[in-house]
């Protein structure tokens, strides 16, 4: 039973829940939302997802809150990003309303798996869409499915909010300047596995990418966007090869609301020397503070948190976004969907 899970120690992995929801695209239109309790799918062996990577995913979270309500953070933004990804790899767009109906349904049907308030754990929602139709030549499928499943995930920081080291990878690129880096497609992750493995083997939290063309500007950190605090300004990369993070977009807004200046621009790697704070941001950790970024291939190391602790602005931003997600601060931008 879900009630018996040790919520604070469940980690970030797949756990079976009661239901998933599915919607099929056939004959040029999306069908009705179907509820399923199977964990497997039966698709054609020539499906475009399997051969040509016509696949996209999303990730968002639902929280059980102090007032007993369930809150989901910015599902409309995930729906819009998925639509952008669909345009990018020629899949049919799923309307926002249908996306949100699916999210509501999969969360409410698996309510007993939503970690209780105060455990730091949450319910991770994973939408995945792909071409199921058969093709042998390289072209988009005629049929698609979107599936949403959920899995309870533990708190990202077991020992509390802490800063960790990252490593620049110059041997591997995740995405090209005019490639698919701006879309949330599985192919980008296949391209990142070697670099990710290399970083982990050396004890780093994650690999850190520079722009693929000039190897000069900061792109992002594995599966999270980068932000730094430079002379009190929130700086974050502008690049055609990074994923538009909803967490980053929200942090930029919150920073502005707090009177912190925000700059979205190209950031040369050397600028790390003048940063008081830095972090990686994304749905999984919200903010993962960066203590140090090593660039071993050129023999450089940028120490950001000298005491190894997260900086005050990162901490303030982290607390502010968490409070909105949990319904404990005013949601003045209308970000939260409450069930
Ligand atoms: C999902 C993802 C992020 C984070 O996006 P959020 O919407 O904040 O979760 C950042 N970078 C990459 C490459 C991603 O796939």
Residue nearest atom 12 of ligand 1, based on CA coordinates: 223
Ligand 1 in reach of 22 Cβ (< 6 A): no
* pLDDT computed for residue 3 by the predictor: 58
4: CA distance to ligand 1 center in Å?
A: 31
Ligand 1 in reach of 245 Cβ (< 6 A): yes
Residue nearest atom 5 of ligand 1, based on CA coordinates: 245
pTM of the shown model: 0.96
* pLDDT computed for residue 1 by the predictor: 47
| Span 46-88, pLDDT tens digits | 999 999 999 999 999 999 999 999 999 999 999 999 999 999 9
- The minimum-distance atom of ligand 1 relative to the CA of 282 is 8
Ligand 1 in reach of 225 Cβ (< 6 A): yes
* pLDDT computed for residue 159 by the predictor: 66
Q: Could you say which residues of the chain have pLDDT below 70? A: 1-3, 158-159
- The minimum-distance atom of ligand 1 relative to the CA of 81 is 7
Torsion of CA 299, 306, 156, 282, to 10 degrees: -60
246: CA distance to ligand 1 center in Å?
A: 7
Ligand 1 in reach of 184 Cβ (< 6 A): yes
- Pocket probe for ligand 1: among 245, 286, 325, the residue whose CB has the most ligand atoms within 8 Å is 245
CB 64 within 8 A of CB 108: no
């Amino acid at each position: 039973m879900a009630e018996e899970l040790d919520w604070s120690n469940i980690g970030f992995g797949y756990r079976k829940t009661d239901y998933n929801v599915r919607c099929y695209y056939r004959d040029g239109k999306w069908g009705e939302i179907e509820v399923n309790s199977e964990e497997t799918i039966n698709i054609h062996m020539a499906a475009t997802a399997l051969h040509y990577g016509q696949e996209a995913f999303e990730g968002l979270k639902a929280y059980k809150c102090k007032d007993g309500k369930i809150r989901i953070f910015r599902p409309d933004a995930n729906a819009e990003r998925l639509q952008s990804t669909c345009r990018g790899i020629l899949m049919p767009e799923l309307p926002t309303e249908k996306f949100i109906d699916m999210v509501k349904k999969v969360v409410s049907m698996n309510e007993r798996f939503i970690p209780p308030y105060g455990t730091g754990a949450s319910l991770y929602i994973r939408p995945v869409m792909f071409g199921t139709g058969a093709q042998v030549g390289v072209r988009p499928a005629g049929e698609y499915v979107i599936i949403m499943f959920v899995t309870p995930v533990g708190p990202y920081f077991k020992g509390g909010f802490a800063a960790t080291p990252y490593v620049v990878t110059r041997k591997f690129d995740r995405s090209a300047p005019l490639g698919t880096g701006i879309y949330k497609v599985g192919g980008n992750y296949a391209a990142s596995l070697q670099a990710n493995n290399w970083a982990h083997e050396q004890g780093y939290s994650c690999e850190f990418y520079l722009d693929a063309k000039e190897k000069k500007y900061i792109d992002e950190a594995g599966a999270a966007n980068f932000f730094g605090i430079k002379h009190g300004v929130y700086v974050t990369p502008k690049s055609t090869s990074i994923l538009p993070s909803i967490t980053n977009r929200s942090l930029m807004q919150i920073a502005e609301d707090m009177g912190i200046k925000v700059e979205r621009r190209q950031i040369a790697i050397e600028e790390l020397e003048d940063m008081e704070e830095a972090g990686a941001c994304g749905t999984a950790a919200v903010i993962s503070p960066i203590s140090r970024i090593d660039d071993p291939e050129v023999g450089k190391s940028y120490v950001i948190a000298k005491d190894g602790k997260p900086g005050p602005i990162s901490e303030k931003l982290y607390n502010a976004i968490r409070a909105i997600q949990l319904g404990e601060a005013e949601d003045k931008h209308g970000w939260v969907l409450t069930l």
